[in-house]
Structure 1
Amino acid sequence: MSATGWFSRSLACSFAFLTLVLVPGTRTEALQRVKLVSETEVYTVLVSNTQANRFVFPFRVEKITSSAPGLDVKFYRNTATVSLVGEEAAEMIVYAKGKSYMLNLIPKDIPGETVILEVQAPEPVKYQQGYLKAIKDLIMAGYRGEMPDGYQAVEVFKKVKDWEKGGTLYLVRVYRCPQALTLKEYVLMNTGKDTVEVSEEDFLKGNVRAVSVDRHEVRPGMATKVFVVE
């Protein structure tokens, strides 16, 4: 197995962060700060089930939806008043600027909360030996048929094209992680009568970061795997 075409670019996976700050003194409200990092995360927020709660967003709210029967929400521009009755948690989805964020509201017998929401850029994933090792680890996971941490595999198996050197190229599956590198697994099947030569340079196009070809010579009736990192 060989691999060429390494490029240095940043990659990131998204994580949700919740900071709870209790304000001492005579105030009747507690202050929570919730940092919105990714649309794929669910953000947990403590709310009062005896008093109204105030939410302040960093953007103008377009819509708020929920199917929870005990939840009442009234919003105007970048603020919302949220009341939740009972002891059951409720999910609330906030829409703004073409994005949506899901909040998981946990009711407690506490004074009304003030929740400050902030948008935070995702932090880059730190790998032990840097970016090159991250690419190698991703490709090796593909060869072993393992699911890399934080990734989801989408089964595709569709014909991409007839290989100009002979045979047919198929896209088998795609490994994805939000705001990180994408790994695509191809299979090149030699359906002809002559041996087909395959090189990494055949796939180094567009935004491809790295390529690894299992077999560089494919005899008739045989196949080779090709992993492409984007």
Structure 2
Amino acid sequence: MKTIRTPADEAEARALQDELRGLVVRDEPGPPPGTGRVTGVDVAYDDERDIVAAAAVVLDAATLDVVEEATAVGRVSFPYVPGLLAFREIPTVLAALESLTSDPGLVVCDGYGLAHPRRFGLAAHLGVVTGLPSIGVAKNPFTFSYEPPGTRRGDSSPLLADDGEEVGAALRTRDGVKPVFVSVGHRVDLPTARAHTLRLTPRYRLPESTRHADALCRRALREATAATAAPPGAAPDGRE
């Protein structure tokens, strides 16, 4: 895992992003869907207290059973700048991943990889710094365009930049339900990323990895903010 430094300002962040983007591997297919482990990561914020909570939830890729989960809580160390969101999230997400004793396998981010204005979203950034295969599965298409895919589960259409570059796919995971937006991060190709996403969505629109990680990071944030709000000398859970 690479050493992570927090940029001093926006210019340094963009320079670091450019440096790391050159390390993305796109010529590997990635792990076969339904094999090994899949780990969902997600974050939740308390902007008033500058607190961020991250969760990493490891699933068995074949059964989608939870194998292990971990959380980390930290201070937001970088301001919100469009296109540079990963710098706010990466330190705490890495802390959660490093707490795991299981091999994370494929990492699934609630966000973007190649489908990013600078072609280096959270999934790509996290993949490069960890060396793990990674994909992004987002709820909306960000700034990109697409033709609606067919109405059946598994139907997809290209997610396109203004210049026509294909940066991902709009993928229907439930019949007649709004698609999700899949993009490669690191060491995975787009067909494999789509296949993993379908394996991870047997019942709902969003991947089980994301659903578990979202619930866990929200719980971790509630517990952290409750602790910071407790009166001096009081136990966070109300016990003496």
- TM-score tier (shorter): under 0.3
**Greater strand share, 1 or 2?**
1
**Greater helix share, 1 or 2?**
2
Q: Return the TM-score normalized by structure 1.
A: 0.25
